[in-house]
Amino acid sequence: MDVLIRFGFSIEDIKNMMDTNIEIDNINDNNLSMLINILKNIGCCDMQIKNILVANPFYLNRKEEDVRKLINKMEKINMNNLQTVFDSNPFLLNLDVKEFDSIVRRKKSEGLDDDEIVDFICYELV
């Protein structure tokens, strides 16, 4: 929890996040730091990270390895500017790799190319 305070979240932000995701209190600071660093490493600025976490506090329940795998899968289909993608749709971070693969396969079977699949994921998948 201290990581969120040091990062600059207000007590009110943290309270709102905890009201939505009661498990936040049980997440250790090391895991919180790793998940925040993943967002930093893809180019998210501090404001984007705050927006993402306040809108989707369930991201903090994710395992670092699972998030990294998801990001790698997204990059393989040329999803660029992930910082903007996650800022505008933070719930994409909750996708499991299997779910993501399933969506991509289904859209390919519908005849969509990678660019169209990226557009679908970014703008239509909620």
The whole-number pLDDT of residue 102 equals 96
The whole-number pLDDT of residue 1 equals 75
Is the pTM for the entire model greater than 0.85?
A: yes
The whole-number pLDDT of residue 125 equals 80
DSSP structure class, residue 26: G
- Give mean pLDDT in consecutive 10-residue pieces for the chain, a chain of 126 residues: 89 94 91 96 96 96 96 94 95 96 96 94 84
Question: Residue 96: enclosing H or E segment and its boundaries?
Answer: none
**What is the CB-side half-sphere exposure of residue 54 using CA atoms within 13 A?**
18
Contact 58, 22 (CB under 8 A): no
